[in-house]
């Protein structure tokens, strides 16, 4: 990253001032709300299961695994991970795990302790903006990080953008993973309260050319969640220029707090109109292969899904349905097209067929076993849409086609006097949806 020369000293001074306040504080972590936790669950990922998967996937000759928690609070996350590894017989026995927690406040206990299969590092008074040299100073030279986590910490930095680059470049090539939440930076002359922080983050990650997934996350008033993976040797491409800083007073700070007294402005951030029109909390945007890997390894909850990011994407199947071009639809279906594909409003082909009452096409799609359960941006399944539109034939077709019926949908069907479609007893399947005897017949017509 380029920094205009006049800016370099100013930026350094701000970083040092913010850090020194922390480094000179009491040797305790005194953050009120987020003061460390055993798991962070960024993007819904259980970090214990993730590190186990990474350790299992590591080459046999790699004995040492390195894990880093940036902004570790009272090192609760690190201690819980050490406990998990040492008590878990399924964790690869040949691996030794270095669990490193770093924070700005001093730490006066024993810094490095060997605990069975792990080495636990509790490092205080570490300036995370200088992470590379700080790790070397603490005897961790030349390491590759297999997993880095950071929650409610990077947002407090003066220069989070460059810090994220530095951390990414320390990840192990071909596998290292970085889980973190969002932070603040601006384009020239911008105001913090006018910026869509989530879109800014996604723009930065697109420009960096790294593999990433982004998830809008509002719970806890945290900013959003991100996963990066270093899938090859390449480093984080950062072609921005630091142009200036804005000093913040308490009234201009974002909800959830910000330790830094300044926010940095960058030029060179490309304006791309490539985002979906909606930002849904159950959808990951970004690298689909990364999403599919996490899903296949049962690392992300089943209710989270992947969605397309780029507006320039075309949706030929959706278009053919809109135009009622049955032959064209048949061709796509016959060609084994991506029937799971959703449009920018997260409508599946089935949603569109129902919305436009294309019943012949709906039958065609059902025969091709298209997925029936996806939710669109209004949070509707195809069955909910059909119920809302009181499209009885579509409802019948969906049920004959084996759609899973939720308890709520069953109630609405009863209201429409369609209980006869729900023959057999309804029983919860543990996921909030219910089985019925028709569903069990599962598409007998194919």
Ligand X SMILES: C[S@@+](CC[C@H](N)C(=O)[O-])C[C@H]1O[C@@H](n2cnc3c(N)ncnc32)[C@H](O)[C@@H]1O
Residues of this chain that interact with ligand X (CB under 6 A) are 18-19, 22, 29, 31, 34-37, 71-73, 103-105, 126-129, 151-153, 156-157, 259
Closest CB to ligand X among residues 128, 383? 128
Q: Nearest distance from residue 34's CB to ligand X, in Å?
A: 4
Contacts of 350-356 with CB under 8 Å at 24 or more apart are 350/382, 350/398, 351/376, 351/380, 351/382, 351/385, 352/318, 352/321, 352/322, 353/321, 353/394, 354/382, 354/385, 354/386, 354/389, 354/391, 354/394, 355/385, 355/389, 356/321, 356/322, 356/324
Q: Nearest distance from residue 268's CB to ligand X, in Å?
A: 24
- In this structure, are residues 4 and 242 in contact, taking their beta carbons and an 8 Å threshold? yes
- In this structure, are residues 315 and 305 in contact, taking their beta carbons and an 8 Å threshold? no
Q: Nearest distance from residue 101's CB to ligand X, in Å?
A: 9
Closest CB to ligand X among residues 156, 265? 156
Rounded CA separation 118/94 (Å): 11
- Whole-angstrom CA distances from 176 to 57, 229, 324 are 11, 6, 47
The angle formed by the CA atoms of residues 200, 204 and 210, to the nearest 5 degrees, is 140
- In this structure, are residues 226 and 201 in contact, taking their beta carbons and an 8 Å threshold? yes
Q: Nearest distance from residue 126's CB to ligand X, in Å?
A: 6
| Total count of residues recorded for the chain | 446
Closest CB to ligand X among residues 89, 219? 219
Q: Is 391 helix (H, G, I), strand (E, B) or coil?
A: coil
Rounded CA separation 315/402 (Å): 25
Q: Nearest distance from residue 365's CB to ligand X, in Å?
A: 45
Closest CB to ligand X among residues 95, 103? 103
Closest CB to ligand X among residues 3, 329? 3
Q: Nearest distance from residue 236's CB to ligand X, in Å?
A: 19
Closest CB to ligand X among residues 95, 127? 127
Closest CB to ligand X among residues 256, 268? 256
Q: And the tokens for 306? A: 């992947």
Q: Nearest distance from residue 181's CB to ligand X, in Å?
A: 8
Residue with nearest beta carbon to ligand X = 71
- In this structure, are residues 441 and 412 in contact, taking their beta carbons and an 8 Å threshold? no
């Amino acid at each position: 990253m380029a920094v205009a020369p006049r800016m370099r000293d100013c930026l350094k001074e701000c970083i040092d001032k913010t850090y020194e306040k922390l480094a000179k504080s009491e040797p305790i972590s005194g953050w009120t709300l987020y003061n460390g936790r055993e798991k962070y669950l960024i993007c819904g990922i259980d970090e214990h299961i993730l590190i186990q998967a990474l350790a299992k996937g590591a080459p046999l000759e790699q004995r040492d695994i390195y894990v880093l928690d940036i902004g570790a609070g009272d090192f609760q996350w690190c201690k819980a991970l050490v406990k998990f590894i040492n008590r878990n017989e399924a964790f690869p026995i040949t691996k030794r795990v270095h669990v490193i927690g770093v924070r700005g406040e001093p730490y006066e206990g024993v810094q490095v302790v060997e605990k069975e299969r792990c080495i636990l590092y509790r490092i205080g008074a570490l300036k995370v903006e200088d992470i590379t040299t700080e790790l070397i100073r603490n005897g961790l030279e030349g390491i590759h990080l297999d997993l880095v986590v950071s929650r409610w910490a990077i947002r407090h930095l003066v220069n989070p953008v460059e810090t994220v680059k530095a951390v990414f470049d320390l990840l192990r090539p071909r596998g290292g993973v970085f889980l973190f939440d969002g932070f603040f930076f601006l384009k020239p002359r911008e105001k913090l309260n006018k910026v869509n922080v989530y879109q800014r983050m996604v723009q930065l990650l697109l420009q960096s050319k790294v593999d990433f997934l982004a998830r809008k996350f509002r719970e806890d008033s945290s900013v959003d969640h991100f996963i990066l993976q270093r899938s090859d040797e390449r480093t984080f491409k950062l072609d921005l220029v630091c142009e200036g800083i804005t000093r913040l007073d308490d009234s201009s700070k974002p909800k959830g707090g910000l330790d830094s007294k300044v926010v940095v402005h960058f030029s060179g951030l490309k304006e791309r109109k490539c985002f979906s029109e909606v930002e849904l909390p159950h959808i990951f945007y970004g690298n689909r292969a990364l999403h599919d890997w996490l899903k296949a390894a049962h690392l992300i909850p089943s209710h989270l899904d992947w969605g397309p990011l780029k507006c320039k994407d075309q949706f030929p199947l959706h278009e053919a349905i809109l135009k009622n071009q049955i032959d064209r639809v048949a061709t796509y279906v016959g060609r084994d097209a991506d029937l799971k594909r959703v449009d920018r409003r997260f409508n599946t082909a089935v949603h569109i067929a129902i919305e436009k009452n294309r019943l012949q096409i709906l039958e065609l799609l059902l025969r091709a076993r298209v997925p029936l359960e996806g939710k669109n941006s209004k949070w509707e399944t195809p069955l909910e849409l059909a119920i809302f539109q009181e499209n009885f034939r579509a409802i019948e077709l969906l049920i004959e086609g084996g759609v899973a019926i939720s308890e709520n949908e069953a109630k609405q069907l009863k209201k429409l006097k369609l209980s006869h479609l729900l023959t057999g007893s309804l029983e919860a399947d543990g996921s909030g949806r219910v089985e019925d005897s028709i569903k069990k017949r599962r598409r007998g017509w194919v």
